């Protein structure tokens, strides 16, 4: 009987859902170093202010924070380095075409662990919201919260 990996790592980028309107989402693998996966398993990662960018027809996530591993030695990773995203070639081509043509952006939405213990990142093809759209979202969330409170009581 082997140990089963803990699958409770689910780090969300709440700011992305507030700032952007998500059009389509994809799940991508991450090219990580040894100490990075150990830090993610401990839940020490953050997606705030991170974004994805193409470089030589490859997609990289930038500004994603993965804390240095506490027990790491000289081989410890840099906390905010660029990390390559692993997607199918046709998905990469589709994303690159949409970003160039329509001025959309790609933002990381969620970092999670699979049942097999692999780190995956959910990215979204997004369009920036206007200020009035953000206010509408806040109003909708407040109304929903009030309704939920009334239903509990």
Q: What is the pLDDT of residue 1?
A: 43
Closest CA to 81 of 100, 104, 55, 62: 62
- Per domain, the residue ranges of the chain are 10-152
The fraction of the chain above a pLDDT of 70, given in percent, is: 93
pLDDT digits (tens, 9 = 90+) for 11-61: 898 888 888 889 999 999 999 888 888 888 888 888 988 999 999 999 999
- Second-level CATH architecture of 10-152: Beta Barrel (2.40)
Where is 30: in which H helix or E strand? strand 20-30
Per-residue DSSP letter, 123: E
């Amino acid at each position: 009987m082997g140990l089963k990996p803990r699958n409770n790592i689910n780090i969300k980028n709440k700011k992305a859902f507030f700032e952007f309107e998500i059009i389509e989402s994809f799940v991508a693998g991450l090219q990580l170093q040894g100490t990075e996966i150990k830090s993610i398993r401990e839940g020490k990662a953050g997606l705030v202010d991170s974004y994805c960018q193409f470089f030589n027809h490859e997609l990289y996530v930038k500004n994603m924070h993965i804390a240095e591993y506490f027990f790491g030695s000289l081989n410890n990773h840099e906390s905010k380095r660029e990390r390559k995203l692993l997607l199918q070639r046709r998905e990469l081509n589709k994303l690159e075409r949409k970003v160039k043509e329509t001025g959309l952006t790609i933002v990381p939405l969620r970092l999670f662990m699979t049942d097999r213990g692999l780190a995956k990142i959910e990215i979204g093809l997004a369009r920036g919201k206007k200020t009035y759209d953000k206010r509408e979202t806040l109003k909708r969330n407040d109304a929903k919260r009030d309704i939920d409170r009334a239903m509990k009581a």
